[in-house]
Amino acid sequence: MLESPETILQGAEILQKILGVQTCYIGIEENKPDAIELLREKTKGRSAMAVISLHVKYPQGAEKQLIKAITGREVPPGGLPMDVGSVVQNVGTAHAVCEAVTRNIPLIERVTTVTGFGIRQPKNLKVRIGTPLEFLISQCGGLTDHRVKVIMGGPMMGIAQHNLEAPAIKGTSGVLVFPLGDIFLEEEGPCIRCARCVDICPMNITPCHIATACEFEKFEEAEFYGAMDCIECGSCVYVCPTRRHLVHYIKFAKSVITARKRAAQSAEKK
């Protein structure tokens, strides 16, 4: 946003034109005042665009949460943003759209944050898609320890990597590296029905019920309790006093439900 504001705004205008969108809201959390100020300056005179300063909150980047925070509209369970007349794109996508349309450049690189106590010199890097994580880490002064945990993505939703040959992909927003001493491996306990996971869930579903249904392979029940609406934010796991692997169960339930639906659809076609 600070380095390429015009490219982002041009990309947003192209998206507006293609999709027939009347107003484009650019939501930025208030802990980035420099980006808010710059984009407000750049959008002066663009009447169909507004920059909205948002409270810092997690999770807020998911499309349903953003729509609620900016417009007050609620996407119904199982629904899509278009059901409430909205479409959400991130600034990286707007940038990529402008590059593709005006310069004929496909998506070949992205900005990635390489950070964590396991990295000697944390940096934001512009990386070619396909670059091995090992190379990114070497560009940041290397590791502080020979035993580390590497996560591709953010601290709540990122995925641990098996080795450093894994490539940066178009969704690699960050690479987090933790020394082993900073990692807590806690045993999973039984659900004590405290409902903390239910209270915290931004999608208003019941993670404890979905996880239990999944454990007993009752996937219809998991779907009934809203498994497919889970945005995998990890908030439920964070608050669970017995460290239930709730997101793991829910992801598994989602994959089984999706596979069953696909199988049913292809059986219908035959």
Q: How far is the CB of 234 from ligand SF4 (least distance, A)?
A: 5
CA 31 from chain centre, in angstroms, equals 18
Residue list 188-217, contact with ligand SF4 (CB under 6 A):
191-197, 200-203, 205, 207-208
- Least distance to ligand SF4, CB of residue 229, Å: 7
From CA 38, how far away is CA 43, in angstroms rounded? 9
Angle in degrees, 0-180, between the axes of helices 246-269 and 207-215, rounded to the nearest 10: 70
CB atoms within 10 A of CB 260: 13
Which is closer to ligand SF4, CB of 133 or CB of 208?
208
- Give the pair of three-digit tokens for residue 101: 């349309």
Q: Select 34 or 220, whichever has its Cβ closest to ligand SF4.
A: 220
Q: Which of residues 43-82 bind ligand SF4 (CB under 6 A)?
A: none
Residue 49 CB: number of other CB atoms within 10 A? 19
Compute the least distance from the CB of residue 241 to ligand SF4, in Å. Answer: 6
How many residues interact with ligand SF4 (rule CB under 6 A)?
28
Amino acid at 203: M
DSSP state of 168: P
The answer to whether 233 contacts ligand SF4 (rule: CB under 6 A) is: yes
In angstroms, what is the minimal distance from the CB of 249 to ligand SF4?
A: 10
Task: Report the site for ligand SF4 in 240-259 (rule: CB under 6 A).
Answer: 240-242, 244, 246-247, 250
Q: Answer whether 62's CB lies under 8 Å from 234's CB.
A: no
Distances (CA, A) of 42 to 4, 26, 29, 118: 11, 12, 18, 38
> Shortest approach of ligand SF4 to residue 206 CB, angstroms?
8
Pairing mode of beta strands 109-115, 123-128: antiparallel
* Cβ distance to ligand SF4 smaller for residue 72 or 190: 190
d(CA 10, CA 6) in angstroms, rounded, equals: 6
First-to-final CA distance of the chain: 49
Residues 105-124 that bind ligand SF4 (CB under 6 A): none
The pattern of x and - marking residues 75 through 104 that bind ligand SF4 according to CB under 6 A reads ------------------------------
Give the footprint of ligand SF4 on this chain (CB under 6 A). Answer: 191-197, 200-203, 205, 207-208, 230-236, 240-242, 244, 246-247, 250
